[in-house]
């Protein structure tokens, strides 16, 4: 990026425009503002490539700024290690200076703790629910962590923008991915110790990310570092630094206090205040639409004594998402559960979950469907059936503008809404691709959606720009993976159905000698899996069993997918998570470049990552959970 382009950047939101003073995107002055005297000045460039903007957040141990990578040209969040009790900023406005010699050892200890956070982020960033780390460097006598920038802010901001509190169903849906993430961390012996609304971020695609691992530690580890957590969200064993009493139940307190806040809009009474006089209002005392059993489970997680809380994430998950209802609710739930059971028909096709599949013809679009209350995901329930509406746009430039204002709008946006198409949710048909050791792997029979591999990075690139890309993004860091394991799961499966999904450890080749491993509930296939099978229990692929007929190389597209805006040269094909290109003999060459692979009518082809492609998900369930029709 040249100096001219840098001058076009807004230092508050890091978007480019030709406006000189006010940014048309965020509405603020483009030069940014230094909102804390010890912060870096907006416009500072670090590591010869990271442009610093305004402060996003500040804690006792660090300052987080919005930034812009001038080489790769995308927005980032950059966290500067700044323990304000130990250091100050030098006169040059850059270098950190320890306040006195007594603090030198303490500063060294805290710096090591900060570097530990970076290593934890790097280790777990393969999880789609944990913010990914892009870079780490040392400058100005301190450390900097460069992370992905999350567009929509934290849960505090989300709640403020939605009236100060959330319906309980929405709150439970938002917090569910965080419970999954913490389950993975706890299995590795790690506890986060800072679960709170300001450490749970939302990306533009609706995915949820957990951030700020500065207070995390190995369960049972001894450490001199005190980390008190956040007022109202940290349990007593943390607020009073009783480290020996901390464990998974410490994070469970943070989850339940966050749920309490989301459902009521009130921050729970702090553990310090409750120690002297416990006056926390039971959540079931609020006039909100919350199942009493779930309310009791939340209050159990807020117990002052660790032993009185749920002891594991699995126990909490069961309490929140598989809670027993009243007798009347139980009968209704049993009827719904019967319809949601995993069924295998006579043709070996498995039916599980639901997705907008079939378009409604005009004569079937009733006024009830048109006038229903559609949520932010454009879905609505009408007469116990679920529907999705797809906005339809027309090219505004193709018609003459009726007035000046509409002409200005057309020039800026290029399209206007021209109504909706309506789709009914139907059960998803799956095909069995592996059945071993009590686990059944399923691939969707249909192409269910149509997305790029990593939309926010590549979608705005022209073909000429993208071929210049020397490095790209593997499956583990892709936006597609994050979407499948957050937005897609919430769209396709009920809470009861999501419990049935298993995590699968999958490998993605990055070179001839190296694979990268991730754990996913939903993923897309690799070329090797389509050709040689999905048996993840085997260390080596049996290449003698190549699927010569390419049974899985063609797939029908749903009517919903066919209706999505798509590239002119679209053919019924679906993308693979493999990265690289094919040689003349069609052998796969793994590499990190601008290409992926897709399966089309003629077999494997190169997939330019700025192009949308068909999505054909893969999931895994217990074999004994599938009911075969006799």
* DSSP secondary structure letters along 599-630: EETTEEEEEETTS-EEE--EEEEEGGGEEEP-
Give the pLDDT confidence score for residue 341 in this predicted structure. Answer: 67
Q: Do residues 63 and 109 make contact, with C-beta atoms less than 8 angstroms apart?
A: no
What's the CA gap between 447 and 615, in Å, rounded?
5
Across residues 536-552, what is the average pLDDT? Answer: 54
Q: Name the band, by pLDDT with cuts 50, 70 and 90, for residue 126.
A: low
Across residues 379-386, what is the average pLDDT? Answer: 87
Q: Do residues 615 and 448 make contact, with C-beta atoms less than 8 angstroms apart?
A: yes
Within a 10 A sphere around the Cβ of 431, how many other Cβ atoms? 16
Tokens linked to 453: 């591999």
In angstroms, how far is CA 428 from the centroid of its own chain? 23
Least confident segment among 158-167, 357-366, 403-412: 403-412
Average pLDDT, the chain: 80
Protein fold of 3-148: Phosphorylase Kinase; domain 1 (3.30.200)
Map out the domains of the chain as residue ranges. 3-148, 155-321, 342-351+427-628
Name the pairing type of β-strands 349-359 and 342-344. antiparallel
Is the pTM higher than 0.75? no
H or E, element range at 450: strand 449-451
The count of residues in the chain is: 630
Within a 10 A sphere around the Cβ of 228, how many other Cβ atoms? 16
Least confident segment among 64-68, 316-320, 327-331: 327-331
Q: Using one digit for the tens of pLDDT, what is the confidence trace for 213-258?
A: 755 554 444 444 444 568 889 899 888 767 667 888 999 999 999 9
Closest CA to 430 of 337, 384, 385, 497: 497
What's the CA gap between 360 and 423, in Å, rounded?
6
Least confident segment among 8-17, 157-166, 529-538, 552-561: 529-538
Assess whether the region 3-148 and the region 155-321 belong to the same CATH fold. Answer: no
Q: Do residues 416 and 407 make contact, with C-beta atoms less than 8 angstroms apart?
A: no
Please report, rounded to a whole number, the percentage of residues in the chain having pLDDT higher than 90: 27
Q: Name the band, by pLDDT with cuts 50, 70 and 90, for residue 587.
A: low
In angstroms, how far is CA 154 from the centroid of its own chain? 13
**483/3: higher pLDDT:** 483
Least confident segment among 79-88, 288-297, 299-308, 603-612: 603-612
What's the CA gap between 325 and 331, in Å, rounded?
9
Closest CA to 447 of 430, 464, 469, 466: 430
CATH, domain 155-321, list 1.20.810.10, 3.40.50.80, 1.10.510.10, 3.40.190.10: 1.10.510.10
Within a 10 A sphere around the Cβ of 252, how many other Cβ atoms? 28
Angle, helices 168-187/248-264, rounded to nearest 10 degrees: 170
Rg of the chain over Cα atoms, rounded to whole angstroms, equals 26
Q: Is the dihedral of CA 536, 539, 540, 542 positive or negative?
A: negative
Q: Do residues 40 and 92 make contact, with C-beta atoms less than 8 angstroms apart?
A: no
Asked whether the predicted pLDDT for residue 510 surpasses 70, the reply is no
Q: Name the band, by pLDDT with cuts 50, 70 and 90, for residue 3.
A: low
Least confident segment among 103-112, 274-283, 418-427, 512-521: 512-521
Residues 6+ apart with CB under 8 A from 353: 427, 428, 492, 493, 497
CA atoms within 13 A on the CB side of 150: 29
Q: Using one digit for the tens of pLDDT, what is the confidence trace for 336-373?
A: 444 456 889 888 899 999 999 889 988 889 888 988 88
Give the pLDDT confidence score for residue 326 in this predicted structure. Answer: 33
Give the pLDDT confidence score for residue 627 in this predicted structure. Answer: 87
Q: Do residues 355 and 558 make contact, with C-beta atoms less than 8 angstroms apart?
A: yes
Give the pLDDT confidence score for residue 7 in this predicted structure. Answer: 84
What's the CA gap between 192 and 199, in Å, rounded?
11
Burial class (CB in 10 A: 0-12, 13-18, 19+), 432: middle
Within a 10 A sphere around the Cβ of 123, how many other Cβ atoms? 14
């Amino acid at each position: 990026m040249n100096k001219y382009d840098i001058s076009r950047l807004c230092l508050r939101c890091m978007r480019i425009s030709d406006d000189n003073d006010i940014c048309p995107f965020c509405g603020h002055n483009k030069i940014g503002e230094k909102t804390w005297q010890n912060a870096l000045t907006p416009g500072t460039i670090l590591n010869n490539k990271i442009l610093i903007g305004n402060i996003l957040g500040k804690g006792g141990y660090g300052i987080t700024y919005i930034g812009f990578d001038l080489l790769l040209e995308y927005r980032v969040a950059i966290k500067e290690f700044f323990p304000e009790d130990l250091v100050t900023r030098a006169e040059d406005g850059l270098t950190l200076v320890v306040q006195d010699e007594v603090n030198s050892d303490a500063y060294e200890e805290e710096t090591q703790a900060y570097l530990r956070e970076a290593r934890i982020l790097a280790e777990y960033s393969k999880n789609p629910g944990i913010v990914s780390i892009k870079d780490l460097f040392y400058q100005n006598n301190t450390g900097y962590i460069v992370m992905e920038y999350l567009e929509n802010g934290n849960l505090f901001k989300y709640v403020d923008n939605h009236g100060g509190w959330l319906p309980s169903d929405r709150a439970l849906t938002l917090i569910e991915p965080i419970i999954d993430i913490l389950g993975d961390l706890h299995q590795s012996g790690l506890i986060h110790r800072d679960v709170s609304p300001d450490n749970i971020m939302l990306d533009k695609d609706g995915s949820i990310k957990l951030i700020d691992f500065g207070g995390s530690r190995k369960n049972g580890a001894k450490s001199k570092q005190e980390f008190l957590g956040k007022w109202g969200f940290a349990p007593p064993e943390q607020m009073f630094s009783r480290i020996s009493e901390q464990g998974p139940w410490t994070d469970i307190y943070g989850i339940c206090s966050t749920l309490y806040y989301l459902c009521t809009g009130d921050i729970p009474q702090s553990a310090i205040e409750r120690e002297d006089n416990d006056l926390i209002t039971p959540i079931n005392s609020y006039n909100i639409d919350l199942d009493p059993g779930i309310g009791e489970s939340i209050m159990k997680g807020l117990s002052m004594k660790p032993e009185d809380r749920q002891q594991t994430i699995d126990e909490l998950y069961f309490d929140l998402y598989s809670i027993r209802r009243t007798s009347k609710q139980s009968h209704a739930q049993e009827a719904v559960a019967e319809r949601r059971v995993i069924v295998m028909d006579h043709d070996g096709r498995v039916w599980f979950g639901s997705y907008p599949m079939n378009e409604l013809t005009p004569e079937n679009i009733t006024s009830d469907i048109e006038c229903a209350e559609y949520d932010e995901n454009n879905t609505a329930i009408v007469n116990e059936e679920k529907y999705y509406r797809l906005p339809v746009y027309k090219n505004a430039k193709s018609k003459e503008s009726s007035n000046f204002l509409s002409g200005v709008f057309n020039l800026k946006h290029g399209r206007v809404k021209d109504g909706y198409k309506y789709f009914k949710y139907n059960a998803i048909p799956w095909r069995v691709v592996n059945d071993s050791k009590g686990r059944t792997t399923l691939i969707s029979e249909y192409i269910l959606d149509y997305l790029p591999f990593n939309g926010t990075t590549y979608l705005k690139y022209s073909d000429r720009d993208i071929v210049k890309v020397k490095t790209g993004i593997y499956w583990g860091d892709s936006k597609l993976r994050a979407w499948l394991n957050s937005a897609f799961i919430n769209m396709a499966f009920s809470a009861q159905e999501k419990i049935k999904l298993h995590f699968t450890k999958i490998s993605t080749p990055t070179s001839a000698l190296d694979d990268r491993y991730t754990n996913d509930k939903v993923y897309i296939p690799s070329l090797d899996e389509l050709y040689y099978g999905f048996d993840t229990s085997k260390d080596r692929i049996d290449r003698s069993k190549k699927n010569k007929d390419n049974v899985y190389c063609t797939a029908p597209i749903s009517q919903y997918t066919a209706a999505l805006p798509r590239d002119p040269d679209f053919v019924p094909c679906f993308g693979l998570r493999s990265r690289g290109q094919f040689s003349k003999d069609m052998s796969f060459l793994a590499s990190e470049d601008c290409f992926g692979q897709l399966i089309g009518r003629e077999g494997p082809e190169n997939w330019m990552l700025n192009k949308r492609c068909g999505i054909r998900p893969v999931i895994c369930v217990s074999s004994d959970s599938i009911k075969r029709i006799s």
